[in-house]
Amino acid sequence: MKKIAILTNGGDAPGLNAVIRAIVKTAEKNNVECYGFIEGYKGLLDNNFVKLDSKGNASGILNRGGTIIGTSNSTNVFNLKVVNEKGEVEYKDLSDVCVQNIKDDGFDCLFTLGGDGTQKSSRDFSLKGIKCIGIPKTIDNDVVATDVTFGYNTAVSVATEALDRLHTTAEAHHRIMVLEVMGRYAGWITLESAIAGGGDVALIPEIPYDINKVVEKIENRKAQGKQFSIVVVSEGARPKDGTITVKRTLNDGQGLDNIRLGGAGEKVALELEELTGLTSRTTVLGYTQRGGTPTSFDRILSTKYGVKAVELALQGIFNVLVTYKNGEMSYATLEEVVGENAKVGAASSNIRTIKMDDPLINVARNIGICLGD
């Protein structure tokens, strides 16, 4: 192996630069040249890449948020939206252009840093003969086969800090404070931040909620003299007899990410205000969860992921996703992770949601967090 390329694709997550740095350093140590495609699969399609150098552009980036090589979350090269000469929208498979680029550039392996959508393309490239190694990035922590994705710990920390801050203002005003957090169709950020931040209620996509159960919890707190409550709501949460709250549906239609979630927190806050008579306020944490500097946990995890990825490539192990399982770095085949038989999750893709026998559910219930059921 002489020459490798990295791309970062999909929504950014804290730790991307730490992974890039670890890959570059480990590659250089083994006399392998490292390059980065600009803006994810878009750069691969346009054959736009830069040389990465641990003493140059890949230096001083360990604690930096974002990604030094950019990302895009709307470029599915296997089904790309293009406008033809007649001005009509068409969807085209341009993956062979990418394959040719990789061959012409002489890259021996492509490292794809991304979530389930990115890894699906990675798997599809591997089926076309490209040697790929995926690294699971997402604040949502919803990638199959790994216990934790990088970026997730930072998102939980940001949400926890927000809950600490909401606590004091909620108490001062005797209010219900609702915090809406990200995570798409998985409730990991909600559940862990509610545990870490002393939330009273955590509404996750995996448990469609009954608003009356939440009201009961708040009334019980009132009866104990607690005039305020903290409610953490997943953006993908839904009532048991209703649907998820969609902010916008994009009419480019065909990608995994054509639904913008948003509004679940406000919906819950309005109902709680009406049903309890307590004033409610909503905070939507949004992109602060994935911007900025990674926690030390994410810097270490990202570094482990990057080192392991290059080690696997040097051992000739390709078409896998690097995983962190039971405290150890390992790997699973891309086929296991996003292939047709990997139906593990919910919604439209193979995502890892919280199972009802997950210890976190038990912990939450035992400390009295209402899960809306």
| Binding footprint of ligand F6P on the chain (CB under 6 A) | 11, 73, 115, 138-140, 182-184, 235, 257, 261, 290
Shortest Å distance, C-beta 226 to ligand F6P: 31
Shortest Å distance, C-beta 115 to ligand F6P: 6
Contacts of 109 (CB under 8 A, 6+ apart): 1, 4, 5, 131, 132, 133, 313, 318
Q: Which is nearer to ligand F6P, 219 or 257 (CB)?
A: 257
Distances from the Cα of 199 to the Cαs of 214, 272, 287, in angstroms? 12, 16, 21
- Active-site residue, from 140, 142, 200, 298: 140
Asked whether 248 and 263 are in contact (CB, 8 A), the reply is no
- Residue 234 parent element (H or E): strand 229-234
Shortest Å distance, C-beta 109 to ligand F6P: 25
Q: Which is nearer to ligand F6P, 58 or 145 (CB)?
A: 145
Shortest Å distance, C-beta 62 to ligand F6P: 22
Q: Which is nearer to ligand F6P, 34 or 158 (CB)?
A: 158
Shortest Å distance, C-beta 291 to ligand F6P: 10
Bridge partner residues of 280 (DSSP):
176
- C-alpha 119/C-alpha 347 separation (Å) is 17
Which DSSP category does 60 fall into? Answer: S
**Catalytic site includes residue 241:** no
Q: Which is nearer to ligand F6P, 205 or 221 (CB)?
A: 205
Distances from the Cα of 187 to the Cαs of 68, 128, 298, in angstroms? 29, 34, 19
Which single residue brings its beta carbon nearest to ligand F6P? 182
Q: Which is nearer to ligand F6P, 235 or 298 (CB)?
A: 235
- C-alpha 187/C-alpha 223 separation (Å) is 29
Contacts of 219 (CB under 8 A, 6+ apart): 276
Shortest Å distance, C-beta 73 to ligand F6P: 5
Shortest Å distance, C-beta 9 to ligand F6P: 12
Q: Which is nearer to ligand F6P, 26 or 245 (CB)?
A: 245
Here the tokens at position 361 are: 């559910």
Signed CA dihedral, 55, 119, 193, 307: sign only: negative
- C-alpha 324/C-alpha 304 separation (Å) is 9
- C-alpha 13/C-alpha 20 separation (Å) is 12
Here the tokens at position 121 are: 């393309």
Q: Which is nearer to ligand F6P, 257 or 335 (CB)?
A: 257
Amino acid at 326: N
Amino acid at 289: Q
- C-alpha 321/C-alpha 305 separation (Å) is 10
Asked whether 125 and 98 are in contact (CB, 8 A), the reply is yes
Q: Which residues are catalytic?
A: 140
